Chain A
Amino acid sequence: MVVYILDMVILVIGIYCLIAKRHLIKKIIGMVLMEYSVNLFLILIGYRHNGIAPILMPDENRVHFAQYGVDPLPQALVLTSIVIGLGTLALMAAYAMRLYEKYRTFDMSEIRRLKG
């Protein structure tokens, strides 16, 4: 349980960075930290004490493998989630560069044309 909570602390640091920091790059870094922590959370959930990697070798004992292999499903989910994170990062980077070119600043508090 301590492991889960420590992992959530990283998530919260990421969210804090996204909300409170005004620098665009800092916001991207916050997003990246958030992605890391969620991916790690899923893998932590799938871990088994004394586990072995879920990859079968030709001379491996099948019963032992089924008994001690760690959970493969969260690993599959995390692979998808890493890709989604990379996609979001690319889109965010494109937005950040474009905003810089339009406003000539990375400061989110000066990028404020919308009101109401």
Chain B
Amino acid sequence: METFFIIMLVLMIIGAIIAVETKNMLSAVIAAGVVGFGVSVLFLFLKAPDIAITQVIVEVLSLIILIRVTTKADNEAIERKIDSFANIAGLVFVGIFVGFCIWAFVDMTPFGTPLMRVSQHYLSAGLEETGAANTVAAVILDYRAYDTLGEAVVIFTSILGAFVILRSRGKKKIYEEDYVKVGIPE
């Protein structure tokens, strides 16, 4: 099973590199979408059907939003100019981070054997204590319902924020005229 995960991950890395390096924005968005669908397939094989469903749907919606933003013209010209400093700094960062990961992750709990000190209780007593057959639903809406309240507030806030940003005018017109009156002498 682990071999399958590794192959999937390598494919996703290739997809991610294509998404980052391609010149055409639409291809980049679609390559990122491929990585997203790869993630949701992996979720399914990692026995997380809840997350897989959510990931697929969110993927569709984010693709719609991204393509909506992308269809705007002048895309190719920007990438031609190469900012060598930022590129080199980025690559150095990538190297250091991956090296640090390889150094540190030796001590992690091995793949496939989670400690489950707390969550064993959810599995064995979840149905009696909450009445929900879906243990994930029991965790998100009963044991950790406060997190879910926070999550709902996050999306509420960001949609509100997006509407604030999309306003066409920040200040009222009359006050802009006032500024001119006080600020600039005749």
Which residues of A are in contact with B by a Cβ distance under 8 Å?
1-10, 12-17, 19-23, 25-26, 28-30, 32-33, 36, 39-40, 43-49, 51-58, 62, 65-66, 69-73, 75-80, 82-91, 93-98, 100, 105-107, 109
**Nearest chain-B residue to A106 (Cβ)?**
B78
Q: Which of A14, A58, A105 contacts B16 (CB 8 A)?
A: A14
Q: Which of A51, A71, A93, A96 contacts B119 (CB 8 A)?
A: A71
Task: Check B16–A10 contact: CB distance below 8 A.
Answer: yes
Task: Check A96–B39 contact: CB distance below 8 A.
Answer: no
Task: Check A19–B50 contact: CB distance below 8 A.
Answer: no
Which residues of B are in contact with A by a Cβ distance under 8 Å?
1-2, 5-6, 9-10, 12-13, 16-17, 19-20, 25, 28-29, 32, 35-36, 39, 42-43, 46-51, 54-55, 58, 61-62, 65-66, 68-70, 72, 74-75, 78-79, 81, 83, 86-87, 89-91, 93-94, 97-98, 101-102, 105-106, 108, 110-114, 116, 118-120, 122-124, 126-127, 133-136, 138-140, 144, 147-148, 150-152, 154-155, 157-159, 161-163, 165-166
When chains A and B are docked, how far (Å) is the Cα of A5 from the Cα of B68? 34
When chains A and B are docked, how far (Å) is the Cα of A33 from the Cα of B29? 11
A84: chain B residues within 8 A (beta carbon): 151, 154-155
When chains A and B are docked, how far (Å) is the Cα of A47 from the Cα of B111? 7
How far, in Å, is B66 (CB) from chain A's closest CB? 7
Q: Which of B49, B58, B133 contacts A82 (CB 8 A)?
A: B58
Given contacts A1-B111, A3-B5, A88-B158, list 11 more A-B pairs with CB under 8 A.
A6-B13, A16-B93, A25-B75, A43-B42, A56-B126, A75-B51, A76-B136, A82-B55, A87-B154, A93-B65, A94-B161
Task: Check A8–B165 contact: CB distance below 8 A.
Answer: no
Task: Check A40–B39 contact: CB distance below 8 A.
Answer: yes
**Nearest chain-B residue to A110 (Cβ)?**
B78
How far, in Å, is B92 (CB) from chain A's closest CB? 10
Task: Check A55–B133 contact: CB distance below 8 A.
Answer: yes
B9: chain A residues within 8 A (beta carbon): 3, 6-7, 10
Please judge, given known A-B contacts A6-B9, A40-B42, whether A73 and B90 are in contact too, CB under 8 Å.
Answer: no
Q: Which of B35, B36, B78 contacts A22 (CB 8 A)?
A: B78
Could you give 23 example pairs across A and B, Cβ below 8 Å?
A3-B5, A6-B6, A13-B17, A14-B16, A21-B20, A22-B78, A23-B79, A26-B79, A33-B32, A43-B42, A46-B48, A54-B134, A62-B127, A70-B47, A72-B122, A76-B147, A82-B55, A83-B152, A90-B162, A91-B161, A93-B65, A94-B166, A107-B78
